[in-house]
Structure 1
């Protein structure tokens, strides 16, 4: 009798998300990681020297946009119902 209950309990336990959700989560994580990598750098080793490279287009516009797109993918992945047919 105990073995039957264990088998039934094993059937009940499953992942919260499906494979499709995890794919979108990984895509979002890749966008976020790329955004932070693009945002890095541009500083100066000498505090008395100003490096205007810190305010270039890549760090001010592109990197934050990629991070926001990544967060959008993460929200979509969490809300996605993979069992719903379209």
Structure 2
């Protein structure tokens, strides 16, 4: 019996199906930006004198409310970016 060799495909001709498309990555970068912005807004509050406690600076709206909200919103955006189904025009094999 003769063995028939099937033509080998070059690596460029293989159909690759990516998990995410460009839009998913843009949404992910936006989520990372929100998380980083939240952590930046939460940072600081150091007093020049270690014996002085500045209550208004530590418990400000920015550190207690805004920054955690941005961090949680960033994580929600990350989940949306991961769960979003990419629009494909290729036929699945």
Aligned length: 82
Structure 2 unmatched runs, 5+:
89-93
Offset from partner CA, 1:44-77 (integer Å, 9 cap, x none): 2432110220110000000000000000000000
Segments ≥4 residues shifted beyond 3 Å:
12-15
Which sections of structure 1, spanning at least 5 residues, go unmatched?
Answer: none
Instruction: Check if 1:4 corresponds to 2:8.
Output: yes
Q: Name the structure with the higher helix share.
A: 1
1:65 paired to 2:76:
no
- Aligned CA RMSD, in angstroms, stands at 2.3
> What's the TM-score once normalised by structure 1's chain length?
0.80
| Residues 18-37 of structure 1: pairs in structure 2 closer than 5 A | 18-37=21-40
Query: Per the alignment, in what secondary structure is the counterpart of residue 48 of structure 1?
Result: coil
TM-score, normalised with respect to structure 2:
0.75
For residues 78 and 69 of structure 1, do their structure 2 counterparts lie closer, same or farther at Cα, with a shift above 3 Å needed?
same
